[in-house]
Amino acid sequence: MKIISLFSGCGGLDLGFKKAGFNIVWANDFDKDAVKTYQKNLGMEIVLGDITKISSSNIPDNPDVVLGGFPCQGFSVANNKRSMEDKRNFLYKELLRVVKDKKPKVVLGENVKGILSMNKGKVIDMIISDFKDIGYKLKVYKIDASEYDVPQKRERVLFIAVKNNNEFTLNLKKSSKIKTVKDTIFDLYNLPISYNPIIDNDRIIYNHIASTNVHDKFWGRKYKVNQYDICDYLKKWRKKAAISTKKIDDIFGYKHTAGHWFRKDNNSGSIPKPSDWWKLKGILKFDDTYDKHVTELEEKEIKFEQSLRITNWDTPSDTITATSPEIHINKQRRLSVRECARLQTFPDDFIFKGSLNSMYRQIGNAVPPVLSFKLATQIKDFIKNVN
């Protein structure tokens, strides 16, 4: 049974399907680290690239299933700017396009529960009706992963669509025992965190690395400052000094940092830290316009509500999100990448690639493979009985 996988990420959803015996024939994501992780663990090539730029003719024909855990940030209730205009909301249309062109027997998508209430339910109505127009009956299920052998409260929405003349109803069996955090990660309690694999008696533990930022205060800029303004300003002075960003990186001994100071882009542009600012001033000889704004710091409270939560030992964990996991019960660090992976039911031999934040993101974005396996099993049985 063949699968086309869109928005594959590190492969959480795909792993469950692979374990259930499906054959993934094509997968795609545009995140380099996720693609590396996917290739290493799913053991197959995955196309790195933006799906909006990939034509359907480059995607194999006749899949049985199309998987599409399309990005959820635009839909999440945690995101204040959620609206129908958010460009990411329409990435699901890419899923729609592929389904229309490839006509699989089953389509499975996953999203955050915020999508149900978005625009007073209009978004979900739009998705159902879009699928109907291309010949698919789409059903929506709200589930909490902790009821299905996942040691984590994770409320998500599943979309399962089948061709109009077929009927499919998801019927997951709830687990009899709820798994707790302690059940899941206690054996890692005393292991030191490390970027390198840890050899512990007869086992090797990978990715037991964690953020140690567990304070409720941080040093932030005292005055409001806009990255675009600083960027324009620095660019002007760099031109005057006739010096390349590469040369600046060489002087600092950085790889690409200077590039980010001269880039106007919300995701990757950055303002130099105070010590770099003074050093840069020595090189570019700029005036005092922004000295105060960039270099005067004060202690600020961390506001993000999840950032200081300490994990509960005797319950399922809170949702493993894409950023800043909860603080470990020992209070000296956050949950490690491996602990987050365990709480998301990734096996211990699933190894994540990329920086610490990238690994946290890949895991937080994933569908727990144990849940995915259960979905895959039901979908497999359904496919066996349709033509």
Q: Which residues bind ligand SAM (CB under 6 A)?
A: 7-13, 28-31, 34, 50-52, 69, 71-72, 91, 365-367
DSSP code, position 28: E
**CA–CA distances in Å: residue 26 to residues 47, 106, 206, 243, 312:** 8, 16, 27, 45, 39
In the complex, what is the shortest distance from the CB of residue 104 to ligand SAM, in angstroms, rounded to a whole number? 16
Which one, 29 or 339, has the nearer CB to ligand SAM? 29
Which one, 53 or 177, has the nearer CB to ligand SAM? 53
Which one, 123 or 366, has the nearer CB to ligand SAM? 366
CB atoms < 10 A from the CB of 144, how many? Answer: 16
Beta bridge partners of 276: none
Which one, 33 or 276, has the nearer CB to ligand SAM? 33
In the complex, what is the shortest distance from the CB of residue 138 to ligand SAM, in angstroms, rounded to a whole number? 18
Q: Which are the contacts of 227, defined by CB distance < 8 A and separation ≥ 6?
A: 264, 266, 269, 270, 271
CA-to-CA distance for 170 and 174, rounded, in angstroms? 12
SS3 100: helix
CA-to-CA distance for 187 and 208, rounded, in angstroms? 12
Give the residue from 148, 129, 191 showing the smallest Cα distance to 336. 191
In the complex, what is the shortest distance from the CB of residue 273 to ligand SAM, in angstroms, rounded to a whole number? 28
Q: Is residue 70 within 8 Å of residue 107, measured between CB atoms?
A: no
Active-site residue among 10, 72, 231, 340? 72
Is 340 noted as a catalytic residue in this protein?
no
Which one, 51 or 375, has the nearer CB to ligand SAM? 51
User: Phi and psi (nearest 5°) for 214?
Assistant: -125, 20
User: Phi and psi (nearest 5°) for 277?
Assistant: -60, -45
The set of catalytic residues is: 72
